[in-house]
Amino acid sequence: MEVYFLGTNAGVPTLQRNVTSVALRLLEERRSFWMFDCGEGTQHQILRSPLRLGKLEKVFVTHLHGDHLFGLPGLISSRGYQGGTAPLTVYGPPGLKAYLDISLSVSQSRIPYTLEVVEHTGGLVFEDETFKVEAGLLEHRIDSYGYRVTEKDSPGSLNTDLLRSYGLKPGPLYGKLKKGENVTTEDGVLIQASEVVSEPKQGRIVTVLGDTRPCAGSLPLASGADLVIHEATFGHELEAMAYQYHHSTARQAAELAGEAGARQLLLTHFSSRYTSQEELIPLLEEAKSIFADTQLAEEFCTFAVHRRVARK
């Protein structure tokens, strides 16, 4: 599981940074990637990245401001030309379906795959046997949502060397042991699953917060997360401006990560007033003074989401 940034700027693109989009790479877990927001020019960013649109499985839209949305019709249209034949599901606030229906119908875009648009107002928006995604309302000029992606715990690994010593070969009994069931060999030997299966692998939690002022809705989404991705539009000396425009400072993002007991914080969605990565260093320093494990998001950079030690 890795996070890959396609756009880290707020409002409008600049020569240095594109507007918001971040990919959650799940190549080992699902052989796909998910995208959170899709600002204008995102498909151009993908062309410069190792990502392939044919592997895009889901898009989660935080809110309907253009810098988080205007790239989506073009990306949906282009996906079919780049090998995308599997279904694509797009999640977001009410109004998203109307926007996409009008954009794609007026442009007479041909979509050679199944496109599903799921509108929500928070709560559980997706769940299967390996992941669940929950959304919560934040505080912005329009309805803006954060997403909490939870990877479910997976079974531990079999000790195949020990099983071979029992004379047990790969087969149905391996599957039963993996499920935690005890088995008996043909020789009448009882094998305890707990002796041959390691501890379950604890799932990881990634929180992606949309544009927001500090608000109560952020905390449950970020609680105990392995990684929190939080906007840091301004430095803290511009706290009043941040509040006026319904955004957050780097320090406020760090305060939320600390209160939530998160493991790592990635700052993104930077104001255009910061024209280079070097000019963002003061934002990083103010955040790190409160939450040490903070990094600046950077486009075309990968950040691993590390697995925690299994529960005892």
Q: Is 153 annotated as a binding residue?
A: no
Task: Decide if 240 contacts 203 (C-beta within 8 A).
Answer: no
- Is the pLDDT score of 97 beyond 50? yes
Q: Is 306 annotated as a binding residue?
A: no
- In degrees, rounded to 5, the angle at the alpha carbon of residue 50 between the alpha carbons of residues 224 and 7 is 60
Q: What is the pLDDT of residues 190-225, one digit of tens each?
A: 888 888 888 888 999 999 999 999 999 999 999 999
Query: How many Cα atoms sit within 13 Å of 1 on the Cβ side?
Result: 19
Q: Under CATH, which architecture does the 2-153+202-304 domain have?
A: 4-Layer Sandwich (3.60)
Task: Name which of 37, 43, 45 is nearest 76 in CA terms.
Answer: 43
DSSP letter at 301 equals -
Q: Where are the beta strands (DSSP E) in 243-292?
A: 265-268
**Tokens representing residue 79 in the block:** 């996906």
Distance CA 149, CA 134 (A): 7
Q: What is the pLDDT of residues 42-95, one digit of tens each?
A: 999 999 999 999 999 999 999 999 999 999 999 999 998 888 899 999 999 999
Percent of residues, the chain, with pLDDT higher than 70: 99
- Is the pLDDT score of 307 beyond 50? yes
End-to-end CA distance of the chain: 23
Verify whether residue 37 is a known catalytic residue.
no
Q: Is 269 annotated as a binding residue?
A: yes
| Domains of the chain by residue range | 2-153+202-304, 160-196
Question: pLDDT at position 309, please?
Answer: 67
Q: Is 247 annotated as a binding residue?
A: no
Distance CA 43, CA 79 (A): 9
Task: Decide if 220 contacts 261 (C-beta within 8 A).
Answer: no
Q: Is 67 annotated as a binding residue?
A: yes
